[in-house]
Amino acid sequence: MFKFAHISDIHLGPLPKLTLRELFSKRITGFVNWHRNRRKHLFVNTLDLLLSDLKTREPDHLVVTGDLVNLATGIEIRLAGEWLETIGDPAETTVVPGNHDAYVPGAHNRSVKAWYPFIRSDDAPKTWPEDDHVFPTFRRRGPVAIIGCSTSNATPPFSASGYYSPRQARETVNLLKKAGEAGLFRVVLIHHPPIHGATSSHKRMIGIRRFAAAISTGGAELVLHGHTHLNTLYWLKSHHGQVPVVGIASASQGPGGHKPRAAYNLFTLSGEPGAWNLLCERYSLTEKGDGIALDNSRLLYGEAPASVSIPEAARML
């Protein structure tokens, strides 16, 4: 049995003091948005509650699908790196960046460099090679292949779109095939939802068809994403069957907002190639904001592991 957890859209706060030079860019729109909206609902104590509960479940691995910061300033990127070191060893935590981690030109590379131990492939150099071809990444953990993709790129003001390139698609197919031949359960990480209509046009992923073709050709068992701050389940068709695409709420979202409260998904994997069992349990912040509780269970593959009991009502969700 192998357990792995998924969180996303951390948006570590509060915002640091910004210089006029830093504000003289797209950051001014994010700065205004933070003070008008996000700071009212994204709380560090909520994130701490979530992570504290998550650790009691003792997952074998944690995946983080982007937006660790807000405006991608140097201070934010450094503090996010320090925060990552507090939540787990790089070998037990995998990160892919989001659009906020690449908020302005150059920020993507600075973020990847700072968080590289949590990003790099198993066989990659231990220091960042200072190129744009880090992604897709490949990590093998137990029976699982974790393939990290990046849609993180700087965009104009009032845009939060992502881009999935042809090169990345070709290399993703190769990694998926490699993992499939090794009999691994393939989990693909990406920030933007690779689904048409999952978010508004200015926040969409450019390259959705390309990604779908990569999944269909290479094969995968699970896709995890963030970006929307919603708890969602979609399906992608492939030559190998339907692939679940699972999104999760922001890990810092407090109660009282129009988006779902903070949550994480815990996946319990058992079985073998061709007969996998995968249970997805969602743990969310309570309505009062004073704790974390199970609010959804769903079998995505096969049967529940023998050591896990699922209420009959949860089977029908």
Three-class DSSP category at 205: strand
Q: Assess contact for 71 and 30: CB atoms under 8 A.
A: yes
Q: What 3-state DSSP class applies to 290?
A: coil
- Total structural domains in the chain? 1
Helix (H) or strand (E) holding 176: helix 166-181
pLDDT of residue 49: 93
**CATH number (domain holding residue 68):** 3.60.21.10
> What pLDDT does 75 receive?
87
pLDDT in tens, the chain (317 residues): 999 999 999 998 765 555 545 544 555 455 445 445 555 455 558 899 999 999 999 999 999 999 999 988 888 899 999 999 999 999 999 999 999 999 888 999 999 999 999 999 999 998 888 776 899 999 999 999 999 999 998 877 777 899 999 999 999 999 999 999 999 999 999 999 999 999 999 899 999 999 999 999 999 999 999 999 999 999 998 877 899 999 999 999 988 888 999 999 999 999 999 899 999 999 999 998 889 999 999 999 997 766 555 443 333 33
How far is C-alpha 82 from the geometric centre of its chain's CA atoms?
A: 18
Which pLDDT belongs to residue 240? 76
Quote the domain boundaries for residue 16: 2-315
Q: What is the DSSP letter of 253?
A: B
Nearest-5° angle of CA 293, CA 55, CA 243? 75
36: left (phi over 0), alpha (psi -120 to 50) or beta: alpha
Tell me if 191 sits within 8 A of 100, measured CB to CB.
Answer: no
Sign (positive or negative) of CA dihedral 142, 231, 290, 34: positive
Q: How far, in Å, CA of 75 to CA of 81, rounded?
A: 10
Q: What is the CA radius of gyration of the chain?
A: 18
pLDDT of residue 316: 31
